[in-house]
Every structure is written in structure tokens, then in C-alpha cells.
Structure 1
């Protein structure tokens, strides 16, 4: 334990007992913060020998309760593995420790003339290990993919302390099954991620962006196809805000509406690049053609990077809605893109019929088939949280969707996992868990 900090009892910080979700776990045995992979392996060997549960923790910015303590568990903080080991500009990669903060990775890549495009609201606190363990998504999945698509290699420690050095550095490596994918999205239930080789992309100097209003969801899908074709697939964000969300974020943040809140859906379109001024004519031509085709009713184009950030502040104003309407239930779901419009309408009608006073707002990453919705306040409405979830998830299941698009399962969505995974899939997941963690000590009670 010489390469670790250990705290027990009242010395364990209150912040280590919860994540950003409302889930509550048990009382931990200790908090251990190793400073290298060998120390992680030592801790796992000891806990395995004595059958002590271990809960890996990153920045604790998850929204599904995946990092909350299990009763009697050792909390394994990866914050001590906060380092950038290497930036290989020629190969376009970065080697980092699991405790490295996403914002630091982004800034280091930018300083090297490259970019790490993964981005979301918790970039200033989330750690790479937790990001990989939850296969985080974010704002630019439409162009760059999920975290899984940005990881070349991993180092992980198994439940018995075995170190797996899967630090691949090549885009092409077909030497048998790529084992790193077992740990990406496993939420700390199969192993502890300690290092990662991240794929970098060419640097960006800025973005062209527009906030547009459309009449209905059919126009949304038409606009997405048009924009992707006209700009040769260079769209980096295509974010949706239904009218209920757009009005709510304007009211809760006090911001001035860039365009009037008189249409059904609003879309934030962004195209990042190394030469945003040079890209501007093509971006504006795309919008002009969309107007001519009747896909867009109204639009405003950002004239500066400051205005780009202003548009994003509307899309990211969800934090104000969450805090001002608390207590709420926030959903992170996905359905096939073509079905999103009908699905949203069915959820809206279903919740309204069950509870006419319940406020609900819809937004999401439309190009990624991801819908977010916030229902609340949910206090004293005559409908339980479980009842609200039942309505939403029943509809999601009928549309062939997923109960978790990007936030993971953790504790919060564990009761609903069977809505998105067949019994045969669940059985294989359990078998895999038993194989890699025979004593069931890694993040027990989570996911399955």
C-alpha cells in the first residue's frame, strides 16, 4: 500500500459517497487512492484474497449511480493516476493515466496542434478511466463516434490483480479478439482501467454554427440528410430542442431568444474545422438551400465564436432546468432516428394522460438517435417515479430502443436493463462476469 493513500471511517470525504445521480449506496470500508498500476494490482490481489468488494471511482460525474459505494466496499479512487505519459503527433495518439481529467486531455491535444473531440458538460471533472468505463457519448458523436471509437488501447487490472497490457497504438490490429472492448462500457464490473491510448484528430480553429427552427420532425430528418450531403459529412453536432425545452431554457436562464419560440423544434447545427472562415461559404450555402427546400422556417447564423458559445449555452442550459425544477426524473434513451418524432409524441401523450400537471421537456443528440427528457417537478403529482419510468420505458421498448443511450446502467437503470437486452444476452453477460470476476468483488450490484 506504500504507493497509495488510505482513508477510513469519518476521514472518507463526503464527496466520495455519491456521484451526480440521486442513487444512494452503502457504507464503505475504506477509500484507497493508488498512484500507479502496480499499486492498483496489489490492492486488487488483497481484496480478492479476502473477498472484499471494490468500487472503482473516477470523477464521479456519472448519472446512473455506477460509482456509489457498495456496503463494506473499498472505494478505489483513480485520481492518483492523473498523468499524460506521451503525445505522439505523427501517429496521432496520446497515452494517459485513468485519472487524467478530460479537459486536460483536450487542452494538451490542442497545444500539440491536434484535438481530442470527445466533449460533454462534465469535461472539467470527469476522468478518462470513468469515461472509458461508461463508453461516454456527448455532443459530437455524429462526427467522431462514442468513446469506444476514440480508444486505441487500454491497460486494465482484473479482479485477482492480473494486469492486462492491451496498449495497442495502431488503428489496424487484427491479432485475435480485441480484448479492450470487454472493458469499454463495463462500468467497472469486469476490471479496473488504469491507462489508455487515445486516438487524436486534426486540430480545429473554430466552428460555424446556426440555430434553426423547423416545423416538425420530418423536416429534422430531411435537414440532417441535406446538411450531411452538402457538407460531405463534416457536421460535428446536430442538437435538437423541442419547443417545450426551448421555452424552458429561455425562462430558467433568462437568456434572450435568438429566434422566436414559435416553432415545434429547434436545431443547433455545428461544423468545426481548421479554417472556419474558409468553410463559411459552404455552411451558409447549405442553409440557403435548406430554406429553398422548405426544410427551415427560421435561422440565425453565429457571427463569432462568442455567438457559437451562446447557442451552445442554450443547449447546455439543462443544468438550470434540473436545479430549478427539482425533484425531477431525467431520461437518457435512444430509438432509431426515423422513429424519434413518433416516439417523443407517444411519450408526451402517455405522461400527460397519466398526470396532466407533470411538466416534461425533450431535447437530444438527434444525429445519434439519442433523446433526453426531463420530467418534473415530480413532488406531490400523484404519480410515482417508478410509474413515470414505466410509461417511458414501455414506449421505448415498443420502438426497439435502449433505456440508456450514453449514461450507462449503474444502479439506476438496472431494473430496466432487460427492456434493451434479451435473456440470452443477459445470460452471456453474467457468464462473462463470473469468468473475469469469479468472486463477484468488482462493483457488486451494478449493471446486472
Structure 2
């Protein structure tokens, strides 16, 4: 790839300016430094140029120019990723989607929303709720992450057990391809069997095959009441039985968050939270139901908890009596940002492990980490209803130690038949461990698809592969 020249006569810079205007092409280091990296531990690098297209057509035209001049480009949404996928590499320009932020249509009849990729998730949630609809994807980064990025990594979040991942919420896409074509697949109906559903090629591809510019997403009826409970359990086996019972008896079950004791202790210390129960427990579960009938939701959950308490499946439980109570219960689970900051430099994992293997995985991985790194904390928590487990280990003194932790955990994931990334993507952080989850033939086919759509290798190069 050719180096980017700083002179105003640079034909590449001139071509970008002609398409995007002076305000859409930025070389000011004070602005570009804000685009030097995402939330991951990947080495930050300030891009030479940041471009801010305002329309899907401008995104496509920008990619055509980059391909023609052989300049690599990194796509950036809200910069909340944890896999380094949006962190620039040397020589890359950054393409920010922040100005593609229009909510174009909310279909009150069909229950869909048509949005541009740069719409912030929390803004979409707020706007559809004003019209008595609900967009169920929910993440801790909701105030910064963008809907296009959510689709690019197939985000999951807290409510996958009921609503599925982002892939399940997307009906249609528009994608700018690396050669400058704008591919419209803006389907608005749930049933559509008209050949290969090409949108799935781009959902979860982390911007390596094309840049998502617009989306049609499915909405759900707006729930008016959430019922939340925190439970103390005698074992992880009890948690697996509890979720099976909960799925059968709680039709509006929307979240089932599991936290091992080590996580709860750390959360209480760092966030100054009170112990939730008089006695500690090996495992804690946060349960949420979403519905429209407050009395019915509360009765269902309370009756369910009364039965599992009587049977010994649950040792103790508390049900939120107000929204403030619910926030206090969720606070234990949502201390993750503070934990990440407190344990730096850390190794943070977002893995998928089959539920039948999860207890053994946690026990053996915790023991192996404690043996090799006795002075660090190793915390376990996750959304086990969908097999998503988070592991946090730190602080570690050297990059070599961090790599040893990664190798240990990802080998264990591969041995368990799991996924090295459940919802955060591969990016550059997990690229060297992809073989633990994907076969050589799968990786080779991914490479062939990448070469087919981006033969010049200009778009998010070095991510995933």
C-alpha cells in the first residue's frame, strides 16, 4: 500500500475531498487522535486521515477511491469493540459512520425500523419506545455503540435467551462493497425464500467483506413491566436445572445471568456494594422477566421462586419491589466496566461453552489459572442460557503473561467444543486463536470469500484472518 502524502495536491486526498467535502475529510491530529482505537487492549494508532461520509452513497464512493488508490481503510462505529477490530493499523485511514445517524422510518403497522448504520443503540431504543415498540438488543455500551456495528459483530447482550442475537433481529441490509458498489438488500418481511439470503454473509463479518450502511430491524411489542430477582444457588448444576425450569414456567423470561462467587466478591469490593444475602453462595443468578401485566408477571415469578426455594434448588432469593430495587440488583452484574478498569492490564474473554461442559470448564480453567498466576484475580460470569461465558483475569505484568493466559483459556475452549468469541468478534486480538473454533477448511473458505469481494485487501485488512 502506498504511503499517504500530506500535501494538499495529493490526488488521493483530493479525490476524497471532492466526494465528501472539506468537512468530511479530516487530517487534524487533535481530531484524528479520537479515532486511534476502540475499547480493546490493541495498540492504539492515530490514523493519518479520518473520513466522515454522510450518506451510503458517499461510503461506497469512498471505498471505490480507496480501492483505486490501494489505500487500506478501517471501519469505525461507536469504538466500543473489545477485539481491536476498529483500531487502525499503521497507514490505514479511518472511515467513521458517526454521521450516518438517521432513523429513517418506524413502521407502526409492520413493526420494523429502517435506520442508518451510525444510529446509537440507545437512541433507537428510545425512539421506538416512544411509539410503543421495543428493540430488545441491549448492551452495557448502549449509549455509544452503533446499530451497524452491532450487526457487524452479531452482538448478543443480556436478552438473547428470549430474543436472539442481532442476526435474529435484522430483516434487511444495505452494504457498501469494497469496489464501490452499493448492494441493497432492504427486505422488510420475515418470510422471504427468494434464494440465498446474502445479508447473513455480512452480519458477523466485522466489516471485512463490506460496510453496513442501512438496516431494517424487527421490533417487538413494548413491555411495560420488568420483574427482577437475584438468587443464591448451592451449585452450578442447580443453575442449569433452574434455567430449564424457568424456561418451562416463565414464558416472559428475558435474562438469566450467572455470576460465580469470585465475581460477586470482586464486584462488591470495587463498586462498594452490600452483600446481597446473609450467607455467601457458590453461584448467583439474576433473573428478569418482561411483560405487560405487572400483577401476573410478579405472581408468576414469585410462585416460581417459592417452589424452587422449597425444593432446595435455590438457597435464597430477593425480588425487586421497585425500579430502583431492580437497578440495585443489576448493579452487581453491571460492574464489569469498573472491574475491567481496576484489573488492567487484563485478559478478558467472551467465549461460548456448551452448558453441559460449562461447570467442568470453569472449575478446570480456574484451577489452571490460579496455579500459573496465583497473584491475579480470575473471575467468571455470563449469560449461560445461550452458552456465553465471560472470564476476566488480571492484572498481569507482561504481555507474555497475557498471551499465556489467552493460550490457556482458548485451548480449554477448543477442548470443550466451544467458541473463542460468543459476541465480541475476532478482530485482531483473537485472530491467532481462530483455529481453536474453526477448522482449516472453514478458515480457507473464509479467505476465499474475502478475496472474492475484496481482492485488493483494502477493507479491515488483518481482522479475523
Q: 1:183 aligns with which of 190, 194, 202?
A: 202
For 1:314 and 1:261, locate their aligned partners in 2 and report how far apart those are by CA, in whole Å.
Answer: 16
> How much does 1:9 deviate?
5.1
- Which residue, out of 405, 415, 419, partners 1:398? 415
Please state how far the C-alpha of 1:134 moved relative to its aligned partner: 0.8
Alignment of 1:17-166 (within 5 A): 17-24=36-43, 26-166=45-185
- Are the equivalent residues in 2 in contact too, given 1:26–1:70 (CA < 8 A)? yes
Please report how far the alpha carbon of residue 181 of structure 1 lies from its aligned counterpart in structure 2 after TM superposition. Answer: 0.5
Aligned residues of 1:212 and 1:296 also touching (Cα < 8 A)? yes
Q: Give the Å deviation of 1:355.
A: 2.1
Match for residue 322 of structure 2 among 304, 313, 321? 304
Q: Secondary structure at the match of 1:375?
A: strand
- The equivalences for 1:210-221 within 5 A come to 210-221=229-240
1:361 aligns to 2:379 (yes or no): yes
Seen in structure 2, the aligned counterparts of structure 1 residues 311 and 409 have a Cα distance that, compared at 3 Å, is: same
Q: Secondary structure at the match of 2:265?
A: helix
**CA–CA distance in structure 2, aligned partners of residues 47 and 261 of structure 1:** 60
Using the size of structure 2 for normalisation, the TM-score is 0.94
Alpha-carbon distance between aligned partners in 1 of 2:291 and 2:76, rounded to the nearest angstrom: 35
For 2:85 and 2:215, the matched residues in 1 are separated by: 20
Residue 416 of structure 1 pairs with residue 426 of structure 2: no
Deviation at 1:377, TM superposition (A): 1.3
Change (3 A) 1:383 1:409: closer
Match of 2:245 in 1: 226
Aligned equivalent of 1:378, options 396, 408, 416: 396
SS of the residue aligned with 1:80?
Answer: coil
**Unaligned runs of at least 5 residues, structure 1:** none
Query: What is the Cα-based RMSD across aligned positions, in Å?
Result: 1.4
Shift of 1:141: 0.6
Could you tell me how far apart the structure 1 residues matched to 2:327 and 2:294 are? 15
On the 8 A contact 1:27/1:73 being kept in 2, the answer is: no
2: CA distance, partners of 1:64 / 1:24: 11
- With structure 1 as the length reference, what TM-score do the two structures score? 0.97
Mapped to 2, the partners of 1:202 and 1:260 lie a distance apart of 39
Structure 2 unaligned runs (5+)? 1-17
Task: Please say if residues 236 and 271 of structure 1, whose CA atoms lie closer than 8 Å, have aligned partners that are also in contact.
Answer: yes
CA pair 27-383 structure 1, distance change in 2 beyond 3 A: closer
Correspondence for 2:223:
204
- Matched pairs, number: 446
User: Is the contact made by 2:37 and 2:45 (CA closer than 8 Å) also made in structure 1?
Assistant: no
Q: Select which of 181, 186, 189 maps to 1:170.
A: 189
Corresponding residue for 2:262? Answer: 244
